[in-house]
Structure 1
Amino acid sequence: MGQYKAAVIGLGQIGLTYDFDPKRERPSSHSLAYQLNPCFELIAASDKRREQGKALQQIAPKATFYQSMDELLQNHAVDVISICTPPAHHLPAIYSILEKSKPKVIFCEKPLVSSVDEAIALKQLLQAANCLLVPNLSRRWNSGMQRVKTHVISGRYGELQKVHARYTRGIFNTGAHLFDLIHWWAGQIDEVQVVERVKTSADNDSDPSFTFTFRIGKNIGGFAEAFDDEQYYLFEMDLYFSQGKIEIRNSGDDAFYYQVGEHRLFSGFKSLHLERHESRLLKEANLGNAVNHLVKVLDGLEQPICTVDDSIYPLYVAEALLRSYNNNCSGERVGVY
């Protein structure tokens, strides 16, 4: 019997089926993350598709399956509810949960809501409710990404000067992770300018992908390049410092750290030398780390490392990119706020 009772709304990939992929580290879904954690009991889950109930039984045989979220909420009192539905359904689901149930924590997938206007409405709703909402910006739970933040803040490699990124699958989907990591490590993006729109599979979800430039404050410049994921999936970042460089490769599974030293080929010049390589960072299973963190939050031992404001910020960047794309004849940068 778990100390805390959990439920999952939406049994798609992140809610359930990622853990049927043998290449993924387990747990890669909310359902299995709760099932494997001794401090949780996954008591129920819902999805409109009846066949997801059979899949759920393979992961959590004691959990009760519902095709209706409302019916689940009527029959069970839970401490934590995960929202893993498509983004357009997040805000209505949160309204229903707060009206019909009293969870201590709502753990919600990204993007948190579909627009900045919805984000403002959500903040007003949460202010009136005695419920903590924790967004799942999953790379924040990874210790390798946490170490990158520590090195940026400590100045180990000098002053951060440039950020280069390569990504696929949309400014709202993958963009949520990209913009959050930049914000978390370096600060808020102040201005953006779209260079071109790039076709990706996220177009099917009305989630465009752009190659664009950006600025963080006065001293940090950036360039993000979009790629077609039908050719290959890509999520990479390069952080250039005055005395070194950090490279994020393979969707965050590898981190390379470089320091400045004498150039091997040319006298009087310096070059980057590999200091160390951290590999298999995703072996940790980010969702497992996230659920462990939720236990500490529920126990009153830690504050959430990912807040509603953190999850809303990428929406401001995405909407600024849309404005830049729609007004690209001007060739001017567009402010994020």
Structure 2
Amino acid sequence: MPFKALVVGLGQIGMGYDLSLDAEQIYSHARAFATHPDFELVGGVDPSAERRVTFARAYARPAYADIAAALAAQAPDVVALAVPTPYHRAALNEVLENGRPQAILCEKPLADETGAAQAIVAACAAKGIALYVNYIRRSDPGAIEVGRRIAAGLIEAPLKGVVWYSKGLRHNGSHFLNLLESWLGPVQKTAVIDPGRLLPDGDAEPDLDITFEGGRAVFLATREEDFSHYTIELVAANGRLRYEQGGALIEWQPTVSDSRLDGYTRLAETAETIASGMARYQWNVAAQLAAALRGEAAQLCSGDKALALLQTIADVCQRRPAPA
């Protein structure tokens, strides 16, 4: 029997990103649950009547104006919370008061501040409901393969890297901080190189030096209004990993002996492409979520890990210098 899934919030990540795209591109919760064989999309929730009509037409499933009505009618196994971040806590409380899903998949970040995030994690734990946060990249097959190679020593320590991000540390930089934790282990130490800009929504764009359990990386912020830029370069003892275009391109460039200079080693001229699944990233998350629901190992970000990540970001932002 497939797991019944309800999507709360029918904006871009809930429904909109892939509405006008071909079926092979899966960027929304609605399309992921509608197409993955381990799930049945049973409904959507949104206060907008226009979005409810769009959802019902696109997926031939009922759409509800409020969470309680949807839970009473559908009794889902999984609830995806895709409402704006400030409403995460209220929406989750409404789910917990009116239903008992096996798991909740919450959009990132878990909350705007750590107090609300702690309350969300505690509330799910008290009800015995698994909580996951939608950091999509760690569920990508290419990213999982990179992690496997690092764990197996095929990408050899020591590892040092540079990460370029834009649109704020909490909003977008957290994706790459979370991904590097999945590859290199927990954050051990952070240092602020430059505090960067403070954005209108309270997010910030610092340059950081971050030490992980298994490596170290410098995070550098760029301006989203100029262009989006999300890349990672990791240098290992035996080669270089390039994670480009937000993960759409992953390349491993191993070391080889330099035939021109005896005793020297260089990077191979030809890189190996590691297959990425970012064209259907939300389907990949659904696949990992299904594995978790079956009690199998899964590459998902737990609520506890998302809370720790938010605490790391809050600590960094608190070290901003006081205004002159």
Same fold, TM-score > 0.5, yes or no: yes
CA-to-aligned-CA distance 1:192-229 (integer Å, 9 cap, x gap): 233335559xx343322222222235x84321111112
Which ranges of structure 1 fall in alignment gaps of 5 or more residues? 330-337
Q: Normalization by structure 2: what TM-score? A: 0.90
User: 1:122: how far off?
Assistant: 2.5
Sequence identity of aligned pairs in percent? 23
Determine the structure 1 residue equivalent to 2:221.
Answer: 226
SS of residue matched to 1:8: strand
The number of aligned residues is 324
- 1:44 and 2:40 aligned: no
Contact 1:35 1:59 in 2 (8 A): no
Determine the structure 2 residue equivalent to 1:118.
Answer: 116
User: 1:3: how far off?
Assistant: 2.9
1:130 to 1:189, Cα distance in 2 relative to 1, 3 A: closer
Contact 1:167 1:226 in 2 (8 A): yes
- 1:71 and 2:69 aligned: yes
SS of residue matched to 1:326: coil
Query: Aligned partner of 2:217: which letter?
Result: G
Query: Aligned partner of 1:110: which letter?
Result: K
Determine the structure 2 residue equivalent to 1:174.
Answer: 172
SS of residue matched to 1:19: coil
Q: What is the RMSD computed on CA atoms of the aligned residues?
A: 2.6
SS of residue matched to 2:211: strand
CA-to-aligned-CA distance 1:225-272 (integer Å, 9 cap, x gap): 111122211110011112211110111011111222234665543222
Task: Tell which deviates more after alignment, 276-285 or 255-264.
Answer: 276-285
1:263 to 1:149, Cα distance in 2 relative to 1, 3 A: same
Determine the structure 2 residue equivalent to 1:308.
Answer: 303
Task: Tell which deviates more after alignment, 10-19 or 52-61.
Answer: 52-61
Q: Measure, in 1, the Cα distance between the counterparts of 2:259 and 2:228.
A: 34
Determine the structure 1 residue equivalent to 2:145.
Answer: 147
Q: Measure, in 2, the Cα distance between the counterparts of 1:204 and 1:49.
A: 26
Query: Aligned partner of 2:158: which letter?
Result: L
Contact 2:34 2:59 in 1 (8 A): yes
Residue 193 of structure 2: which of 189, 192, 195 is its match? 195
Contact 1:152 1:160 in 2 (8 A): no
Query: Aligned partner of 1:293: which letter?
Result: Q
Determine the structure 2 residue equivalent to 1:7.
Answer: 6
Contact 1:160 1:239 in 2 (8 A): no
SS of residue matched to 1:144: helix
- 1:207 and 2:203 aligned: yes
User: 1:16: how far off?
Assistant: 0.5
Determine the structure 1 residue equivalent to 2:212.
Answer: 216
Which ranges of structure 2 fall in alignment gaps of 5 or more residues? none
Q: Measure, in 1, the Cα distance between the counterparts of 2:229 and 2:309.
A: 19
User: 1:140: how far off?
Assistant: 1.6
Contact 1:30 1:82 in 2 (8 A): yes
1:326 to 1:20, Cα distance in 2 relative to 1, 3 A: farther
Point out 4+ residue stretches in structure 1 off by more than 6 angstroms.
Answer: none
Determine the structure 2 residue equivalent to 1:131.
Answer: 129
Query: Aligned partner of 2:170: which letter?
Result: F
Query: Aligned partner of 2:319: which letter?
Result: S
Determine the structure 1 residue equivalent to 2:319.
Answer: 324
Contact 1:175 1:314 in 2 (8 A): no
SS of residue matched to 2:14: coil
- 1:185 and 2:183 aligned: yes
What does residue range 235-314 of structure 1 map to in structure 2 within 5 Å? Answer: 235-263=230-258, 268-274=263-269, 276-278=271-273, 281-282=276-277, 285-302=280-297, 305-314=300-309
Q: Normalization by structure 1: what TM-score? A: 0.86
Q: Measure, in 1, the Cα distance between the counterparts of 2:285 and 2:93.
A: 24
1:212 to 1:296, Cα distance in 2 relative to 1, 3 A: closer
